[in-house]
Structure 1
């Protein structure tokens, strides 16, 4: 029996195999929705940032 996972976006069952080109997503649409959520900072990985922008040399003119 093939392994299945839930699509992170819509929770549809997805077969984890070479026959599923968008795994773990069920479709390109769900993949792009997820990418957009990351780009809009609706999703993030918890923790402190590796580099605080104010501490990067040469970034005085950005802020």
Structure 2
């Protein structure tokens, strides 16, 4: 297998990476938010917010 960061052969000590450098680069991507899972939660969240607003609006 190859390192997911640079493509070099992975080393057992740093698996799945080839070196501490590539391991640290991957960690940095996680910590700064470069890796993100796209979600459709925004649409669902908007629906919930609309429902909350309509339940708290004064009724005439």
In which range does the TM-score fall when normalised by the shorter chain? 0.5 to 0.7
* Number of residue equivalences: 42
From the two aligned structures, give the one with the greater strand fraction: 1
Aligned to 2:27: 35
Gapped regions of structure 1 (runs ≥ 5): 53-63
Q: CA deviation at 1:34?
A: 0.4
- Pick closer, same or farther for the CA change 1:46–1:34 going to 2, 3 Å: same
Unaligned runs of 5+ in 2: 46-60
TM-score (normalizing by structure 1): 0.55
Aligned position for 1:12: 8
Measure, in 2, the Cα distance between the counterparts of 1:13 and 1:46. Answer: 30
- CA-based RMSD: 2.0
Higher normalized helix content (fraction of residues):
2
Name segments (4+ residues, structure 1) moved above 2 Å.
45-49
